[in-house]
Amino acid sequence: MGTLSLDDYEDVRIWAPWGDISGRWYGNRTERPILAIHGWLDNLGTFDTLIPLLPDYLGVLCIDLPGHGKSARISNGMHYSVLDYVYIIPRVMKEYKWTKISLLGHSLGGILSFVYSSLAPHTVDMIITVDVLLPLMYPPKAAIRTARFNMEKHLIEDERQENGKLQEPPSYTLSQLREVISSGSKYSVPPEFAQHLLYRSVAKSNLYPDKFYFSRDGRIKFYSPIIMDGGLAAEMARRIKRKPYLVIKGSESPFIGPHCDEALSILSHDNPHYEYYELSGTHHVHLHNAEECAKYIVPFIRRHRPPPVASWSLVCEDDQKISKKEHRRFQERFFKWNTRQQRSKL
């Protein structure tokens, strides 16, 4: 068996009332794929270096969250929130008529995976989360200050966008944009990896040759986080129960810290399908250290979403045809024998 190719994909558009959700379905399009969800301010390009390392018998559907990448923005006057983003998961399931879901999430995508899995654990068969489990938990006063700040900034961004219809956003050269992406992530994304995010986040300037501007929705910078305390996080973790759960932490990142200890303990308790690894790297460890991540992600996928038996065999194709004929003959003989046995009892 081989690995996925970045060149083997189908662009998909998933309908939503405010506009389409954009995605790329890599690899096998005949089986239910893994749904991959990126982090805040990123897009599906965040998985570019990991995708080619994953097994090709199973597809991966990477999506851009609303307001990110190539996905549509929500309507004017509305705002983004974590809970609203959670609803994207069942919307994708409904689009493809899936009754089960396998989740791969980085950062915000990992939070969405955790929250959804706690709300509908019966629909989830596998969760992989990279460098996050829970949102950061702020003291009450800090949470209020953050919510107030986001509200004010969001209203300013609403007004700026309304006025901005008459003018283009600030534009930059590609080298400048790589630095903006890197510095904006606090150098979690090294500049040489920034191009994986840029190709879905920028548009060419109509005013300045060789310059580009960010095309994502500015309102996503001021989204409403989910307010979570230790008690709620613990209860949500209990609802997930013994699901296969892989957590990967970047060694230089603070996003999986003491606030996650109780939830991690609950997820791991009496759960042979739970795995946790700390790997060298920053918050975007899956992007700049993909090979190390794949050493743990690939075996986890093979254990919990193994290839169908029909996809491999120790016999040749002709032998398989003969075996199928013999199996049908055996079924017919067994049916006749069973019928005679039932009649003899009457």
What is the model's pLDDT at position 136? 85
For the beta carbon of residue 251, count every other beta carbon within 10 angstroms. 12
Who wins on pLDDT, 317 or 242?
Answer: 242
Over residues 70-83, the mean pLDDT reads: 93
Instruction: Quick: pLDDT tens for 336-346.
Output: 555 565 555 55
- Global confidence as pTM: 0.87
Please report the pLDDT score of residue 322 as a whole number: 43
pLDDT of amino acid 337: 53
Can you give 209-268 as a three-state secondary structure string?
Answer: CCCEEECCCHHHHHCECCCCCHHHHHHHHHHHCCCCEEEEEECCCCCCCHHHHHHHHHHH
Which residue type occupies 165? K
| Answer CATH for 9-137+219-309 from 3.40.50.1820, 3.90.550.10, 3.40.50.2000, 3.20.20.10 | 3.40.50.1820
Q: For position 317, what pLDDT does the model report?
A: 47
What ranges do the domains of the chain cover? 9-137+219-309, 316-345
The 3-state secondary structure of 13-82, one letter per residue = EECCCCCCEEEEEECCCCCCCEEEECCCCCCHHHHCCCHHHCECCCCEEEECCCCCCCCCCCCCCCCCEH
- Res. 318: pLDDT tops 50: no
State the pLDDT at residue 340.
Answer: 60
Is the predicted pLDDT of residue 116 greater than 80, yes or no?
yes
280-306 tens-digit pLDDT? 999 999 999 999 999 999 999 999 999
Q: Picking from 165-169, 232-236, 261-265, 337-341, which range would have the lowest pLDDT averaged per residue?
A: 337-341
3-state helix, strand, coil in the chain (%, to 5): 45, 15, 40
pLDDT band at 140 (very low <50, low <70, confident <90, very high): confident
Which pLDDT score, from 0 to 100, does residue 161 have?
78
Coil, strand or helix at 132: coil
Confidence at residue 137, expressed as pLDDT on a 0 to 100 scale = 85
Question: Is 282 strand, coil or helix?
Answer: coil
Q: Residue 231: its pLDDT value, please?
A: 94
Is the pLDDT assigned to residue 58 strictly greater than 70? yes
Contact 309, 320 (CB under 8 A): no
Provide the pLDDT for residue 156. 87
Mean of per-residue pLDDT scores for the chain: 90
On the question of pLDDT at 169 being above 70, the answer is yes
The pLDDT of residue 53 is 98
